[in-house]
Structures are given as structure tokens and as C-alpha cells.
Structure 1
């Protein structure tokens, strides 16, 4: 079975203090309406695993899905939404920043961006929070089916050039509608989990905080 096909819903939390203490996590984050829930559903081959809302910013909880073997996918609330009060938006963005910077269990970030509008101001803020951790980022350029072949090539090259060959960052095109790009995501995320599990088994310092009770 492919990596995402065994994905099952685990739990929902709305406060960082309630996050599970055990397991290795890969977080999916993205601007509201960038196609994050659709991407998760497509990867899992499940039409309603992650709720797809037509109202940006509706889902304001942290949703955990389980791969088995103490491996988790964390679906973070969409950011950049305009349909909620400013104080709620500020609260969630502060929590997301704290989670991304301090969560020991987190081994990598899949950043969802609409291929027609990549690297928005808030996308860059997410990267500014996360890249200093030294953990890998995979940029998933969704809705690529809405671009011409020439536009796809240009967009991919533009986003790749943004990171100037940083080995921590990988970029790909993805289409939930056409189910294109699934294998590449599986390969990237599977590699992250395999490397992190080896680190845990070897007792590396990087994995020392897994299962700890201090911080998030």
C-alpha cells in the first residue's frame, strides 16, 4: 500500500497544550483556499478525509491523521483568510508560528500554494518561521491543471529560483483534479519519515525531544 492510502483520522485539537506527545509529524500548511484539503484527500484517495470548505478559513482546528507506525500527518488551519475577525486571525497565526518553530515531533513541512499565486506574503512568513529550524520543506503547487504547459514551467522555475538551490526545499506541481504529482509527494514525505525513524532508532540528538512533555 502506498504511504497516504492508509491514512486515517486520529484526533482534532484546538490548543497546543492538547497536542499528542508521541509520534513523528509532517505538517500540511497553506493559505486558505489554496487546495490543502483537496490535496490531502487526493493523496489518501479518499473524497472526504479532510473537509473541503467553500468558505476560506472555516476550519480552525489542528487535525491529526495517522499513517500507522507512530507517523502522523498534521493538517494545520489555513492562514490568510479574510472571513474571520482580525483578533482570531492573529491568535491562530501566533499559534501556528509557535508550533512550527518549537514542535519537536515535527520533521518536515508541506507548504501548499496555489500555482497561480505562489509565495504570497503569508507564505513567505510561514517560510520565515520554519526554515530556521533546519527541517525540510516541500512546496506543493496545487491547481496546476489551471495553467498552460508554458505557465507550469515558468511557475515551477520561478519558485525553485526563490530558494536558490537550498537542499532543504523541494518544489513540485500538483493537481487534485487530475491526480497528478501524487507519487512525488509520497517519495518526499516517505523519505522524511524513514530518515527520522532512523534517527530515533540511533538515538540522535535531533530526535531527543520526541515524546517529551516540555514545550510543544
Structure 2
């Protein structure tokens, strides 16, 4: 069914502020400006549930989005090239590390990479962390609509190779503009949480 009942539950900077209701959580991680907020908005058919900014590094909190009162989508601060101070980057890194290492409700971290570029060292480092806690990786290649047909296959193979993805791992090309990849990503999320009650609905 459509994800009709969605809302921002809380923007947290420490564990004391995380939701206390024990809903399962799916977290989205990636470089600044990789499109995490746009992806979340497209998944739930909203234009502005997750705040989208053209300025990398705008998300400086861990944002918990309540989806149908069944699960939280967790938008983690972006890493990478954000033009912020070193102390601010360290604060964000500590914030992310605390969440990833302590959150028992976390079922899966989905890694977002920009399909137009090769994954960075930061992306590889994040995926290595994910592999410590999840049996299989789930990678979303964002901004898919910006690639030509020729670039799509070449870039997808480059991402798989750089991240050393296995046959058991999943990679989903995704466009927040067109909705391509939305249904496939919802199927993966439903499978992770063991539910067929939340889904993509129409991709429009």
C-alpha cells in the first residue's frame, strides 16, 4: 500500500534523543549531496518531508522519519566534501558512530553512492562498517537519470568493482526525479523488515 502516514519524529544529536518506541529502523548513509533526502521523499511520495538542500553538509542531525507507524527511516548526516569546519566534521562523525554502534533497532544501513562517479574512500569505509553488522550490503546508485544508456552499464560495473560487491549484495539504480528504482528498493526494505504491509504503491 502507499506510505500515506509519514512524519518527522525527531531530529537527534545524541542517543538520549532517539525515539523510545522500539520500531525497526532502516538508515540511509552517503556522501553529502548524494541525494538521501530526495530518495526518502520519493519513497514516500512527498516533496518536502525530508529537507533537501543544494548546499552539501546541510543535514547536521540524525533525522528519524516515522513511516506508517511501523518503521523509521533514519537520515544520517552526509560525509565527505561538506564545507564545514574540522571540529564540525568530527562532531558529525561521533554522532554517526554513536548511532551505528549502539542502536539495537537498526536492521540495515543502506549505502547511497552517486552513480555518476566512482565510490570514494569514505564510501568504501562505510561499506566495510556495514559488512560488520549486516550479512549483505544494499547499495543505491542515485541520480541515475543523469546518465546516458552507455554510461549506466559502465558506471554500475565500476561501482560493483570498487565496492567489491558480491552476488549476495544488492545494488539498485535509483532516480528521485523519475522514480526509477523505487519499487525495487521498497521490495528490499519490506524483505528486511519482514513485512508486506508497507510498499511503494504507485511510482508516480
Q: TM-score range by the shorter chain?
A: 0.7 to 0.9
1:142-163: per-residue Cα shift (whole Å, max 9, x none)?
Answer: 1111111121112222323433
Aligned residues, how many? 193
What SS does the corresponding residue of 1:185 show, helix, strand or coil?
helix
Q: Does structure 1 conserve the Cα–Cα contact (< 8 Å) formed by 2:118 and 2:158? A: no
Unaligned runs of 5+ in 1: 196-216
> Which residue number corresponds to residue 132 of structure 2?
132
**Residue 31, structure 1, aligned to residue 31, structure 2:** yes
- Note closer, same or farther for the CA distance 1:118–1:106 as it changes in structure 2 (3 Å cut): farther
- Structure 2 CA distance, aligned partners of 1:39 and 1:68? 17
Quote the residue 2:64 is aligned against.
Answer: 64
TM-score (ref. length: structure 2)? 0.87
* Cα displacement string for residues 75-105 of structure 1 (whole angstroms, at most 9, x for unaligned residues): 1111114321101101211221232233211
Q: Indicate how the Cα distance of structure 1 residues 10 and 135 shifts in structure 2: closer, same or farther if over 3 A, else same.
A: farther
The 3 A distance-change label for structure 1 pair 6 and 163 is: farther
Q: Which moved more, 1:66-75 or 1:137-146?
A: 66-75
1:16 aligns with 2:15: yes
Q: Distance in 2 between matches of 1:43 and 1:108?
A: 16
Aligned 8 A contact 1:107 1:136 in 2: no
Structure-1 separation of matches of 2:155 and 2:49: 29
For 1:79 and 1:108, locate their aligned partners in 2 and report how far apart those are by CA, in whole Å: 18
Please state how far the C-alpha of 1:164 moved relative to its aligned partner: 4.2
Q: How does 1:1-216 map to 2 (within 5 A)?
A: 1-2=1-2, 4-21=3-20, 22-161=22-161, 162-165=163-166, 167=168, 169-194=169-194
| 1:128 positional shift | 2.1
Aligned equivalents of 1:176 and 1:141: distance in 2?
Answer: 11
Gap regions ≥5 residues in structure 2: 196-204
Which whole-Å deviations, capped at 9, do the CAs of 1:158-214 have from their partners, x for residues lacking one? 3234334252x310111111111110010001110117xxxxxxxxxxxxxxxxxxx
Q: TM-score, normalised by structure 1?
A: 0.82
Once the two structures are TM-superposed, the CA of residue 50 in structure 1 deviates from its matched residue by: 0.4
